[in-house]
Amino acid sequence: MADRRQNIRNFCIIAHIDHGKSTLADRLLEMTATVAQRDMEAQLLDNMDIERERGITIKARAVRLQYEARDGEVYVFNLIDTPGHVDFGYEVSRSLAACEGAILVVDASQGIEAQTLANTYLAIEHDLEVLPVINKIDLPSADPGRVAHEVEDIIGIPCMDAPRISAKNGIGIEDVLELIVREIPPPKGDEDAPLRALIFDSYYDSYKGVIVYIRVMDGVVRPGMTIRMMQTGAEFDVVEVGSMGASSLNPCGELYAGQVGYLTASIKTVQDTRVGDTVTGSDRPAPQPLEGYRPAMPMVFSGIYPLDGAKYADLKDALEKLRLNDASLTYEPETSAALGFGFRCGFLGLLHMEIIQERLEREYNLDLITTLPSVIYRLQLTNGTEVVIDNPTNYPDPVTIQSAREPFVKANIFSPATYIGTIMELCQQRRGIYLDTKYLDADRVELHYELPLNEIVYDFFDALKSRTRGYASFDYEMADYRDSKLVKLDILLNGDVVDALSFIAHTDSAYTRARRMAEKLKEHIPRQMFEVPIQAAVGGKIIARETVKALRKDVLAKCYGGDITRKKKLLEKQKEGKKRMRQLGSVEVPQEAFTAVLKLD
Amino acid sequence: MTGSASIGVYVHIPFCASKCPYCDFYSLPPDGELADRYTEALCRAMERQPYGPLQADTLYLGGGTPSLLGLSRLSRLLEAAATHLNLSRDGEVTVEVNPGTVDRALLSGLRAAGCNRISVGVQSLSAGELAALGRVHSPRQATEALLAAHAAGFPHISADVMLGIPRQTGESLEMTLESLAALPIDHISAYLLKVEPDTPFGAMNAGALCPDEDSTARLYLDCVETLGRLGFPQYEISNFAPPEGQSRHNLKYWLCRPYLGLGPAAHSFMEGRRSYFPRDVHAFAAAEDPFSLAVEDGEGGDFAEYAMLRLRLAEGLNLQDAERRFGVDPLPILKKAEAMEEQGLVRVGDSTISLTPEGFLISNAVTGRLLF
């Protein structure tokens, strides 16, 4: 029985963005004839358009490949494709927990970057065998020797004999396959023990219900069994088990310890299948669930509203559908005096938020307006209770607040050494706490800072990129909650508070943020028939102001020769413009202005 | 016989001796042979007009510099209008002239040919301002032209002035207006200079030399006030005259009444539809049937248009009328008007709403607010 596992290899591919992870996955699929070359749509595993466009993987997928090695034996490879982005760290970690090894892809010209390290450390923490592979040797700027040294020096794993490949051109792929056979250990597991299978992903299919991706650790699962989700207690009858091909499901009779595959059990919603949960049998449940389960925690919140109030139901519908396949998306209805009826949505991070927004706009054809993203604050009130605030409009009366805490992250910033100064300046501006600087080599550094999450949640990444001409990259992980001096900033237009523009900030950055907001508003609010004071206030006290001058004169041209076309056109433009106007108190603001301001920078 | 069924006729004479740097109207240098053919084409157009029997009670010769067409051709046009368009004997016939290009002979000739109203492009009575505008006449010539028109027997005389031009101040404007009011004229038009991109003014960013926005607004308000005081009450956003001096022709535009425009760049509003001729005098002159060149410009006279034009008039828009003609509900408009009355932009009367001079300054915004 132990033989069954000898020829199995469960592994994933980890890399920094664009180092070639997906291309390598494609080549592996091709070379193991798992999918005919002509059927290949480049990077098949990324089957969402957005993912493809942005070159990132969002949902983990797993594929079973078969490889006839040089030793004549046939091996079963389970390739688990992991999300590469820090927002989805938990999903990455559960995917890693399903593997025994990780192929670490490093770009031969870029060398080690933020996520190279982040993912490597994660893999090492999960006791995976990490096997480096140096990719893109076809590029003129490739320097595999240097990169191999880097890997050895910085990560501390042997790399001098690592395969040097070009996934794009299909060079060295066989070496990778052999490496997998040779160096990644087969899975262990006790088939006779009670069933314990790790859920590392799930996917909603309208015919089969939720398809649950599992790695069986112990025991066996078969159709007909009644299973139980150990964290939620929910029970289901297994309808089907099998393995995943590149684009289809292949049912089989059972999945045993050491295997990776899927099961279906007429499960209606992905909320019933939590990533990291343990599947066990109802009849003979395992005494303990597998380690490492964590409920998905939204980190960043924002209000999402339909531009056209009449589309509220469409938005609700769309969010419901998105949630079918995204258990980490949370939302609940909310209203805003300025924006009408919408939803307060919780995301794992900024990228998650952007992706959801884009999908809503693109796949469901919705024009949206979103508020500034906010994080979760913890406030201790004078009456002894603690409140958790994710929405500035729920900020309590400052008089009742005894103390406040905000989330901090630990950020690792990679950059060429020349930009150290400007990066430090940026971090300082964002209330960063300097930890240390590590020189990766003569030209590259890794800076460590602790930063408040709320300071990086808007445009830190863009600011970093623009200060370093795009060369810097960064990665962060949640650190802890720290005491903070918070204030709530309100924006008033012509004396009326516009709730959608309120935000919570640290006392130290309140003034700068208020000024930026006021200036941006002044730039975008068109002149009205009266002067419009724009004010930013903290607890009723104005700390910044700008004024939009009243409209003084518009066009007074002749109606020459009976030609009223210009006047007519102007009128028509006004009529069109009205449709896109939002009334914020007594001030009319065109849609574009509002969106521009909310994007802030 | 005049009546509301009578139309206005506009004829465009696109010849100019030189082009003023701020002008973006259609014009080109005079050419005798072209002028002949063009005149014939205009007469042909009047004869072959496709609207059936018409009755005209105003005729407006605009340009360019209409006087450059010459007396004999202008007479020919007036005759053709009387013949083919039934231009009534007591119809208003207006001709535009420039101070530098008229003399007594021409003025008498124009009067004899049938013109009974004359509009003189004065622009300013300050020499410095005229030079900055690139005008080819002097203040004295302007004054003399007006006096000569009076001497030639024109019962109605109008002067154009411009506001917000380079070097203009409250005092210089006051001087121009008071001097004009002292002359035997019965109408003044005052236009805000708009620096158009496709003009020499636009190219040299002349806007930078003009009074700023607040000053220009001030000049306009001063103009309204001064002219009112001097016996030229404002009756339209840019036009000032006692009732007997108002331009009957231009009122047709603002009252949304039908008019026929002839010549390149001329616009028509006939049978509820708008149309225009392309900006090409050569094509017009060569066309066997000039109306074959006319371009349709959609339907006209809907409530929005009607209201927009009426609101240019000091008497404003009568909401009861509007309700009757268009089925429009007056209440929402009235509400908005009342709000703007508090801001001093609108006057609300017995079912009429009209713009104040401050309202006229931002008429586009106010109209937009009222209508949409």
Over residues A55-68, the pLDDT tens digits come to 444 444 788 988 98
Domain membership of residue B32 as a residue range = 6-253
B123 lies in the same domain as B21: yes
* Residue in B265, B289, B286 with CA at minimum distance from that of residue B28: B265
Mean pLDDT confidence for A267-275: 83
Smallest CA–CA distance, residue B253 to chain A, in Å, is: 6
The last residue of one of the domains, among B253, B280, B311, is B253
Give the CATH number for residue B59. 3.20.20.70
- Pick from A561, A568, A574: which is nearest to B261 by CB? A561
Span A293-344, pLDDT tens digits: 776 677 788 889 998 888 999 999 999 888 877 878 889 898 887 788 999 9
3-state secondary structure (DSSP) of residue B86: coil
Q: Do B361 and A564 touch (CB under 8 A)?
A: no
- Pick from A529, A558, A567: which is nearest to B345 by CB? A529
Query: What is the C-alpha to C-alpha distance for residues A373 and A391, in angstroms, rounded to an integer?
Result: 9
Asked, for residue B298, whether it belongs to a domain, the answer is no
Query: What is the C-alpha to C-alpha distance for residues A211 and A230, in angstroms, rounded to an integer?
Result: 17
Instruction: Phi first, then psi: give them for residue A543, nearest 5 degrees.
Output: -115, -10
| Residue A241: predicted pLDDT | 95
Least confident of A46-55, B67-76, B201-210, B213-222: A46-55
A256 contacts A310 by C-beta, under 8 angstroms: no
Q: Do B267 and A562 touch (CB under 8 A)?
A: yes
Q: Which residues of B touch A526 (CB under 8 A)?
A: none
A148: region left, alpha or beta (phi > 0 left; psi from -120 to 50 alpha) = alpha
The last residue of one of the domains, among B237, B253, B269, is B253
A136 contacts A105 by C-beta, under 8 angstroms: no
Smallest CA–CA distance, residue B343 to chain A, in Å, is: 8
| Residue B185: predicted pLDDT | 97
A299 contacts A376 by C-beta, under 8 angstroms: yes
CA A53 vs CA A20, A56, A60, A420: distances in Å: 15, 8, 17, 31
CB atoms within 10 A of CB A277: 26
Q: Do B12 and A567 touch (CB under 8 A)?
A: no
In this prediction the pTM is 0.66
Span A428-460, pLDDT tens digits: 989 999 999 988 777 788 999 999 998 887 778
Query: What is the C-alpha to C-alpha distance for residues A346 and A348, in angstroms, rounded to an integer?
Result: 7
Residue A560 at interface with chain B, using a CB cutoff of 8 Å: yes
B160 lies in the same domain as B89: yes
Residue A225: both structure tokens together: 């069994």
| Residue A47: predicted pLDDT | 47
Confidence of residue A500 (pLDDT cuts 50, 70, 90): confident
Q: Which residues of A touch B345 (CB under 8 A)?
A: 529
Give the CATH number for residue B323. 1.10.10.920
Asked, for residue B259, whether it belongs to a domain, the answer is no
Mean pLDDT confidence for A394-406: 91
| Residue A295: predicted pLDDT | 67
Smallest CA–CA distance, residue B109 to chain A, in Å, is: 24
Which DSSP state fits B131? H
B180 lies in the same domain as B326: no
B363 contacts B357 by C-beta, under 8 angstroms: no
- Pick from A553, A558, A563: which is nearest to B361 by CB? A553
Residue B368: both structure tokens together: 């937009």
* Residue in B144, B218, B228, B219 with CA at minimum distance from that of residue B188: B228
Query: What is the C-alpha to C-alpha distance for residues B114 and B276, in angstroms, rounded to an integer?
Result: 26
Smallest CA–CA distance, residue A593 to chain B, in Å, is: 18
Confidence of residue A54 (pLDDT cuts 50, 70, 90): very low
B125 lies in the same domain as B207: yes
Confidence of residue A91 (pLDDT cuts 50, 70, 90): confident
Asked, for residue B270, whether it belongs to a domain, the answer is no
CB atoms within 10 A of CB A238: 21
Q: Which residues of A touch B304 (CB under 8 A)?
A: 571, 575
Mean pLDDT confidence for A553-571: 75
Contacts 24+ apart (CB under 8 A), A359-365: A359/A50, A359/A322, A360/A304, A360/A315, A360/A318, A360/A319, A360/A322, A362/A49, A362/A50, A363/A318, A364/A314, A364/A315, A364/A317, A364/A318, A364/A321
Mean pLDDT of chain A, nearest integer? 85
Q: Which residues of A touch B368 (CB under 8 A)?
A: 571, 574-575, 578
For a pLDDT cut of 90, what percent of chain A falls above it? 37
Span B34-93, pLDDT tens digits: 999 999 999 999 999 999 999 999 999 998 889 888 899 999 999 999 999 999 999 999
First to last CA, chain B: 40
Q: Which residues of B touch A553 (CB under 8 A)?
A: 192, 213, 216-217, 220, 361-362
Q: Do A561 and B371 touch (CB under 8 A)?
A: no
Asked, for residue B31, whether it belongs to a domain, the answer is yes
- What helix, strand, coil percent values describe chain B, rounded to 5? 45, 20, 35
Report DSSP letters for A359-373, one per residue.
Answer: HHHHHS---EEEPPP
Query: What is the C-alpha to C-alpha distance for residues A233 and A8, in angstroms, rounded to an integer?
Result: 31
Instruction: Phi first, then psi: give them for residue A50, nearest 5 degrees.
Output: -65, -45
CB atoms within 10 A of CB A21: 28
- Amino acid B6 reads S
Residue B235: both structure tokens together: 């009756």
A351 contacts A359 by C-beta, under 8 angstroms: no
| Residue A89: predicted pLDDT | 66
Mean pLDDT confidence for A477-497: 90
B64 lies in the same domain as B208: yes
Q: Do B365 and A564 touch (CB under 8 A)?
A: no
A566 contacts A557 by C-beta, under 8 angstroms: yes
CB atoms within 10 A of CB A136: 25
Q: Which residues of B touch A555 (CB under 8 A)?
A: 192, 194, 364
CA A272 vs CA A265, A266, B123: distances in Å: 11, 11, 81
Element at A227 (helix H, strand E)? strand A226-229
Q: Are strands A433-439 and B239-240 parallel, antiparallel or unpaired?
A: unpaired
Query: What is the C-alpha to C-alpha distance for residues B300 and B302, in angstroms, rounded to an integer?
Result: 6
| Residue A52: predicted pLDDT | 46
3-state secondary structure (DSSP) of residue A462: helix
B241 lies in the same domain as B349: no
Smallest CA–CA distance, residue B205 to chain A, in Å, is: 17
Span A207-254, pLDDT tens digits: 788 899 999 999 999 999 999 999 888 999 999 999 988 777 889 999
The last residue of one of the domains, among B184, B218, B253, is B253
Residue A33: both structure tokens together: 């004839």
Cα-Cα-Cα-Cα dihedral sign, residues A425, A430, A435, A441: negative
| Residue A415: predicted pLDDT | 86
| Residue A433: predicted pLDDT | 95
Asked, for residue B275, whether it belongs to a domain, the answer is no
**pLDDT for A181 beyond 50:** yes
CB atoms within 10 A of CB A133: 24
Residue A442 at interface with chain B, using a CB cutoff of 8 Å: no
Higher-confidence residue: A47 or B28?
B28
B196 lies in the same domain as B57: yes
B191 lies in the same domain as B113: yes
B147 lies in the same domain as B27: yes
| Residue A34: predicted pLDDT | 59
Query: What is the C-alpha to C-alpha distance for residues B260 and B274, in angstroms, rounded to an integer?
Result: 10
- Pick from B8, B253, B364: which is nearest to A555 by CB? B364
Q: Exposure string (b/e) for A37-50, b if CB count within 10 Å is 16 or more?
A: eeeeeebbbbebee
Asked, for residue B281, whether it belongs to a domain, the answer is no
Report DSSP letters for A573-599, one per residue.
Answer: HHHHHHHTEEEETTEEEEHHHHHHHHH
- Amino acid A216 reads V
Q: Are strands B234-236 and B239-240 parallel, antiparallel or unpaired?
A: antiparallel
Query: What is the C-alpha to C-alpha distance for residues B330 and B318, in angstroms, rounded to an integer?
Result: 9
| Residue A2: predicted pLDDT | 52
Query: What is the C-alpha to C-alpha distance for residues B41 and A58, in angstroms, rounded to an integer?
Result: 73
B56 lies in the same domain as B188: yes
B69 lies in the same domain as B214: yes
Task: State the total domains in chain B.
Answer: 2
B140 lies in the same domain as B215: yes
| Residue B194: predicted pLDDT | 76
Asked, for residue B290, whether it belongs to a domain, the answer is no
Asked, for residue B365, whether it belongs to a domain, the answer is yes
